[in-house]
Amino acid sequence: MQPIKTPRKLIEVALPLDKINAAAAREKSIRHGHPSTLHLWWARRPLAAARAVIFAQMVNDPGYERHLGRGVNKEKAAIERERLFGILERLVLWENTNNEAVLNEAREEIRRSWRETCELNRNHPQAAELFNPDKLPAFHDPFAGGGALPLEAQRLGLEAYASDLNPVAVTINKAMIEIPPRFAGRKPVGPLPPGEKKNVDMHEDWSGARGLAEDVRRYGAWMRAEAEKRIGHLYPKIEITAEMAVERPDVKPLVGQKLTVIAWLWTRTVRSPNPAFSHAEVPLASTFVLSSKEGKEAYVEPVVDGDLWQFTVKVGTPPARAKDGTKLARGANFRCLLSGMPIEPKHIKAEGVAGRLGQRLMAIVAEGTRSRVYLTPTEMHEAIARQAQPEWRPETPLPDDPRNFWTLNYGLSKFGDLFTPRQLVGLTTFSNLVQEAIEKCRQDALAAGMDDDPSSSSGQASIGLDAGGIGVAAYAQAVGVYLAFALDKMADLGNSLCRWEPIAQCPRQLFGRQAIPMIWDFAEANVLGSSSGAWDVFIDGVFKAFLRAFEYVPSWFKGSVLQADAQTQSISTCKVVSTDPPYYDNIGYADLSDFFYVWLRKSLKPIFPSLYATLAVPKAEELIATPYRHGGKEQAETFFLDGMTRAIRNLAEQAHPAFPVTIYYAFKQAETKGEAGTSSTGWETFLDAVINAGFALSGTWPMRTENGSRMIGQGTNALASSIVLVCRKRPADALTVSRREFIRELNATLPDALDEMTRGGINSPVAPVDLSQAIIGPGMGIFSQYAAVLEADGKPMSVRTALQLINRFLAEDDFDHDTQFCLHWFDNFGWSTGKFGDA
C-alpha cells in the first residue's frame, strides 16, 4: 500500500506554551458569559487550550523534511514559527474568542496547510477520498463531555462531530455545536416580559443566535410569572414588626416593611443520645455564624430552656463559640445542645437510616435597603415550608460509592432525598413549565410567521429537534433545552446540601467538588426572589452565557452530536481527532450526572425520547476504574485498561492518517513508588492503553488546564496540569530492542530535550513543577516507537518500568543535591508540612 505523506505538525515540534498556559489559567477564573456556565460539567478543558491544540494539530511545521521534499532551513523555519506563534498567541486570548479577524487568520492557516498536504498526496490512490483540497476533514471527539473541543473545532471552521455515552454530555454538546448554527439568524417570537417596551427606533440585529438567546430570556420570564401564580404562597415575604426591632436597632427603619426573603437557613436535627433528653431533637449545626463580612457580622444564638430550645439572630461580632456551632470535630461529631453530651457518628447514622433526621429553621435572610438582613426564624415561615406537598420526586437511587457519595450513611439514599419538600415543589413546577413554554413558543412562532419544515405544509406534523427539524416545533424545543439547563442550575443551588457562605453571604452550589458530600446546615434559596438561587438569576446566567458564546455563530457552521460508546463507534472515520477521555478513577461522571439527568429527563424526554429512555445514565460501559462497580481495585483497573485500549485502538484505526491524534490526560499526584522514581497507577494504565492500541507518542505537552483554587486541589500536591499526548499510529513493522539499547537511546536524547525544556529554545520554558511530566514526551516517544523493549529475561518492559527509567534520568541530571531534595520533597508533600527525617 502506498504510504501517505504526512508533514510534521506544529504540535509535534514547538508551541508557545507559556502564552497558552497563561490564557488557559486566566480563563478558568472567567464565569460570566463563558459557555461552560450554560451547564455544569466536571473537569472541562479551557477553550484556549482546546483551540491551541486543534490549531497546532492541523497546521504543518515549517521545518525541512528531506523525505517529503518540503519545508525550509532552520533559520527560515524559526522565523515562520514565530509568525505561527503570533497567530496562536492572538487566538488563545479570551477577548478574541469571537474575533472574526483573528479566527479567519487561523482558519486560513489551517486551509493552507491542508492544501499543502493534499498536494503532497495528489497521486495517492485514495486522494479523492482523503485529500480534497477544497474540503477540510471533519473533526470528532468521542469523549465529548462538556463540549469544549468540538466547540473550538467548529469555531476554527471544521465540521464538528461529538459523541459520548452519557445523555447529559450529549445534550450539552447539542446545545453547544448543533442547535445554535441551526437556528442562526432567527428573530425572537416570544412576548416581551411585563414592563419592557420595544424600542421601535432601534435597529434590531438578530444575526447569529441572538434571537434564540432572547427567546430563552423571554420564555424564562414567562415561566417565572406563571410559577408565581402557582406556588407563590410557599415563598412569602417577611414583615418587620415592632417586636422584632426591640432588641435589633438595625431593623427599626424597616418596621412595617415586607422584605423579600433571599434564603431560609436550616439545620438538621437528631434525637439526643442522652437518656434524659432522648425525647428531644437537638441541632446538628456546623456553625452559628451567618455573616463574617466586616461591619455586617451576624450570628445565631441558641436559647435553651430545660428540654426546649430556640434560635435568636444577633448582630455584631460573633463569640468564639459560634464558629463551630454544635460541632466537636470533623465528620459527624457533634454535642448535644441540651446536655453537652457528645453525639457520635454511629448514633447520627442510625437515626438517619431509620428516617429520623429532622430539620429546624435557624435564620431567615432577607433583602434590606442596601444589604442583607438576618432575622430570627418565625413559626409562620417554618409552618409554610412544611405545607409543601410535591407531586413528584426522583426515586433514582444514589450509587453505593462511599468515596464520592456521603449521604447514604445518613439515610439519604435517593436523589429525591436530597431536596426539601418545598424545593421539590419548586423544581417540579418549573419542570412542568418547560413543556408549557415549548408549546407556547411553538404557537407564538406560528403566529409570527416563522417558516416551518417542508413536510408540515403537506399536513404532516412539523419535524422535531431530534429528527433534524428546522421549523417551528424544532425551534420551540431548542428554546426548551436551554430552559431545562436553567432548571438544572436551580437543582444545583436548590437542594438541602447547599451551604450558606458567611463571607459572600449567599448559598453555595452543591457541586463545589466532584462528589455529593453530607451537609448539616443548609440554605434554601427563594426561587421566586431576585438573588442567588432565584429562577431569574439562572435564566439571566444562561442567557448571557449563550449570547456571549454564540451571538456571532454563522448558519454555515455544521455540528452533529450522537450518543455512542467510544469502544464501538465508527464516527471517527477519516476525521481529525482530539479527545479528553475519563481519567482512570478521578471522576465518576455517570454517577454524578444522574443528579441532573433525573431533571433533564422529566423536562426533555418528549424532545429526545431515545436519549432519555433509561431511568438513569448508562453506567456498565463507562470507562472509569470504579472499584465498587467492578468488585475491587484490580478488577476495576483491568476493566479500564481493556476498555480504554479498545476505545483508543478504535481511534488509531479510524482517524485521518494525515493528522496526529491528541489526547488529554489530567495528571494526578503520584500514587505508587518504586526504587527509581514515582508514577501514578492511572497514568501508567492510561499510557498502557495508548501504546497497546498501536500508538506511538510524537509529543507530550503539560498544559495548565486545571484551576489551582479548585477544592480538590487545595492543600494538596495536585498539579494544575493536563498532559496532552500527541499520537501517531505505530508502523506495523516496528522494531524490537533490548533494555540496554533503550537506556542508551534515552541517555542520548533526553539531555538535549531537557535543555530545550528548561531554557526555552524554540518553545516556551516548561515550569519546573511540570518537568517530570514534560520529560515523559521524548522518553515515551522512544519507548512507544518500538513494538517492544525486551528485559534481560526476554519479557516486554512494562510502562511502569519505562516511566521509572525516565524519572531516574531527571533525578540524576545536572541538578545539585539541594535542588534534587526540593524536587523530591515537592513530589511527596507539595506545599504541606512533612515529618522531619522523612526526606
DSSP for 151-196?
A: HHHHHTT--EEEEES-HHHHHHHIIIIIHHHHTTTPPP-SPPPTT-
Cα–Cα distance between 223 and 215 in angstroms, integer? 12
Q: What is the pTM of this model?
A: 0.91
Same domain as 261, residue 143: no
Residue 361 lies in a domain: yes
The reply to whether 573 falls in a domain is no
Which residue in this structure is represented by grid cell 432577607?
366
Phi, psi for residue 343 in degrees, rounded to 5:
-110, 110
Quote the pLDDT of residue 458: 55
* Region label for 745, one of left (φ > 0), alpha (ψ between -120 and 50) or beta (otherwise): alpha
Residue 256 lies in a domain: yes
User: How far are the Cα atoms of 14, 614, 722, 738, 745 from residue 785, in angstroms, in the given order?
Assistant: 20, 43, 23, 13, 12
What pLDDT score was predicted for residue 680? 62
Report how far residue 231's alpha carbon sits from residue 431's, in angstroms, rounded to the nearest whole number: 13
SS3 assignment, position 727: strand
DSSP 137: P
pLDDT tens for 83-97 read 999 999 999 999 999
The secondary element (H helix, E strand) that includes residue 130 is: helix 127-130
Q: Which domain holds residue 168?
A: 1-178
Q: Per the structure, how many domains does the chain have?
A: 2
CA distances from 680 to 514, 771, 798, 808 (A): 20, 15, 13, 15
Q: For residue 759, what is its C-alpha cell?
A: 531554557
Residues 290 and 142 in one domain: no
Question: Is 478 domain-assigned?
Answer: no
Whole-angstrom Cα distance, residue 170 to residue 163? Answer: 7
Residue 614: other Cβ atoms inside 10 A? 12
Claim to verify: residue 249 and residue 152 sit in the same structural domain: no
DSSP state of 120: H
Distance of CA 29 to the CA centre of its chain: 13
Domain shared by 247 and 383, yes or no = yes
**Dihedral pair phi/psi, residue 763, rounded to 5°:** -110, 170
User: Could you say which of 178, 205, 223 is where a domain stops?
Assistant: 178
Note the pLDDT tens digit of each residue in 24-44: 988 888 877 789 899 999 888
pLDDT of residue 468: 95
| Same-domain check for residues 149 and 61 | yes
Domain termination residue (choose one: 143, 163, 178): 178
691-746 pLDDT tens trace: 999 999 988 888 876 554 444 444 333 444 678 999 999 999 999 999 999 999 99
Q: What is the pLDDT of residues 215-227, one digit of tens each?
A: 999 999 999 999 9
pLDDT, one tens digit per residue, over 227-238 is 999 999 999 999
What pLDDT is recorded for position 201?
Answer: 43
Q: Which run of H or of E encompasses 117?
A: helix 100-120
Q: Are residues 89 and 8 in the same domain?
A: yes
Strand segments (E) across 504-587: 506-507, 521-525, 559-563, 576-579
C-alpha cell at 51: 483551540
User: Residue 265 to residues 511, 531, 533, 635: CA-CA distances in angstroms?
Assistant: 19, 15, 13, 44
Pairing state between β 160-164 and 139-141: parallel
Q: List the chain residues with pLDDT less than 50.
A: 200-202, 669-678, 708-720
Q: Are residues 156 and 275 in the same domain?
A: no
